[in-house]
Chains A and B, each alone.
Chain A
Amino acid sequence: LAKTTQPISMDSYEGQEVNITCSHNNIATNDYITWYQQFPSQGPRFIIQGYKTKVTNEVASLFIPADRKSSTLSLPRVSLSDTAVYYCLVGRPRDDKIIFGKGTRLHILP
């Protein structure tokens, strides 16, 4: 499993675009990049997944450069309700162990 590194915490303001970058230098050819969101006392929830270039859904965008050694989760126009912990995971479709790590604690200010 590729190790991931992401900032421990970030602050931003309502209405801003927030970008959280995750480093995964040892990503393997068959690895996908997946991001989860977790609110206090709730289980994590899947946000977005990608393999290369850019993926966008109704919640976020995921940017992956050509070398795939990092990825950036982009949250457009955040609100207070986006305050949560965001986890970056790297792994293959048939992985057994799953490593969430400590995530990035995002705090949105009014």
Chain B
Amino acid sequence: EAQVTQNPRYLITVTGKKLTVTCSQNMNHEYMSWYRQDPGLGLRQIYYSMNVEVTDKGDVPEGYKVSRKEKRNFPLILESPSPNQTSLYFCASSSPFQGQTNYNEQFFGPGTRLTVL
């Protein structure tokens, strides 16, 4: 089954304790992205990756790191989490470069609800 998986789905942590949220897709997509969603602010892009070893900042990159060493994986790293990073996080992937009906159709993971105390 074609899918994007994220782990963990729920995480409660404390300020300053480094954490990683994993994201993996099995659709051979070039493009992967991380979003955060907060009440009243909609969905905001944190980082994206056009392909392996190519990453760039989205609209809200402060406090986050990413890496893209393999095509299928795109982990989100919080080196020193703070309470303002409490949010619902989504990973997504798409393939703008392969022949398909829908351009840039984003496939989303189930989400990770993070609470930083």
C-alpha gap A102/B42 in the complex (Å)? 4
A98 contacts which of B4, B48, B111 (Cβ < 8 Å)?
A: B48
- Contacts across chains A and B counted by CB atoms under 8 Å: 70
- Residue A34 CB within 8 A of the other chain: yes
Q: Nearest chain-A residue to B90 (Cβ)?
A: A43
Q: Is the CB of A102 within 8 A of B45?
A: no
B107: min CB distance to chain A, Å: 8
| Chain A residue contacts of B111, Cβ below 8 A | 41-43
A44 to B35, CA, bound (A): 11
**Cβ-closest chain A residue relative to B111:** A43
The segment from B12-20, B73-81, B95-103 found at the interface with A is: B95-103
Contacts of B41 in A (CB 8 A): 102
List CB contacts (< 8 Å) of A30-60 with chain B. 32, 34, 36, 38, 41-46, 49
| A67 in the interface (beta carbon within 8 A) | no
- Tell me, in angstroms, the Cα distance from A45 to B110 when the chains sit together: 11
Q: Is the CB of B35 within 8 A of A100?
A: yes
Q: Is the Cβ of B42 less than 8 Å from the Cβ of A43?
A: no
Within 8 A of A (CB), among B66-117: 88, 90, 92, 96-97, 102-111, 113
Main secondary structure of the interface of A (DSSP, over half): loop
**B43 proximal to A (CB < 8 A):** yes
Do B48 and A96 touch (CB < 8 A)?
Answer: yes
- The CA of A45 and the CA of B111, in the complex, are separated in Å by 13
A87-B43 CB under 8 A given contacts A41-B111, A42-B111, A96-B56 = yes
Given the complex, which residues of A lie within 8 Å of B44, measured CB to CB?
Answer: 100
A105 CB, min distance to chain B CBs, angstroms:
10
For residue A46, which residues in chain B have a CB less than 8 angstroms away from its CB?
102, 105-107
| Residues on A with beta carbons closer than 8 Å to the beta carbon of B42 | 87, 100-103
- Where the two chains meet, the residues of A that have a C-beta atom closer than 8 Å to any C-beta of B are 32, 34, 36, 38, 41-46, 49, 87, 91-103
Given contacts A43-B4, A94-B96, A98-B33, 17 further A-B pairs with CB under 8 A are: A34-B105, A42-B110, A43-B108, A44-B43, A44-B106, A49-B102, A87-B43, A93-B96, A93-B103, A95-B104, A96-B50, A97-B48, A97-B58, A97-B59, A100-B43, A102-B40, A103-B42
